[in-house]
Chains A and B, each alone.
Chain A
């Protein structure tokens, strides 16, 4: 069975400093991995996705993530945090062996950005 672990429930950074949100996955097969962002009282927006092409994936708003198979990790980074980045972030893996193509969500990391 596939699963996702987000290692931090909350991360707090100062505006202008780097962001690191950590995610480890468990998968018996080549996974498809995603990061979604949810701003307060809003829906979910896709930030970026990994689908077995380049291991370094660039997303929207300056975010990127690196797929490391040896470490089963897919950490999300951004060089410089902006106040508008404050939101909840979900690491997600797809169940590629399940015909439902369902998504399996981590429990989320809430990013706080201090002025």
Chain B
């Protein structure tokens, strides 16, 4: 998964604690995404960012905030963690192909979060 890095790889939180998941890319693409993966449900989109300074809600945004301060980094914040946010979180970038619209996404290695 070179090109998209996520930190931390693992995290355990207590209910009510806050934390920020970091995602960084060195591939110079505009669009970045945060997904969560739960057993038997595939991946679901939390938030996305079409470009630096812009963010939009996805399918399951409640309980999360995001920040895209520059082109390279896209962070996901849990202000008050809940057990329902126990999941594996994946950051992804959409591969720009110049004038050809591309829908292919490239994923980071994931962050496994447990909230007790």
Contact = CB atoms under 8 A, between A and B. Distances in A.
A46 interface: yes
B50 A99 contact: yes
Given A43-B107, A43-B109, A43-B110, A106 B42 contact: yes
Interface of A is mostly: loop
Contact of B41 (A32, A43, A45, A107): A107
Contacts, number: 53
Contacts of A27: none
A96 B103 contact: yes
Interface residues of B, number: 25
Interface string A37-71: 00000111110010100000000000000000000
A108 to B, nearest CB: 6
A103 B43 contact: yes
Given A43-B109, A107-B40, 15 more contacts: A34-B104, A36-B107, A43-B108, A45-B107, A46-B104, A51-B103, A100-B48, A100-B58, A101-B31, A101-B94, A101-B101, A102-B48, A103-B92, A108-B40, A108-B42
B103 A94 contact: yes
B90 A44 contact: yes
Contacts of A74: none
Given A9-B40, A43-B1, A90-B43, A103 B105 contact: yes
A23 B31 CA distance: 27
Interface residues of A, number: 23
Nearest to A42: B109
Contacts of A96: 103
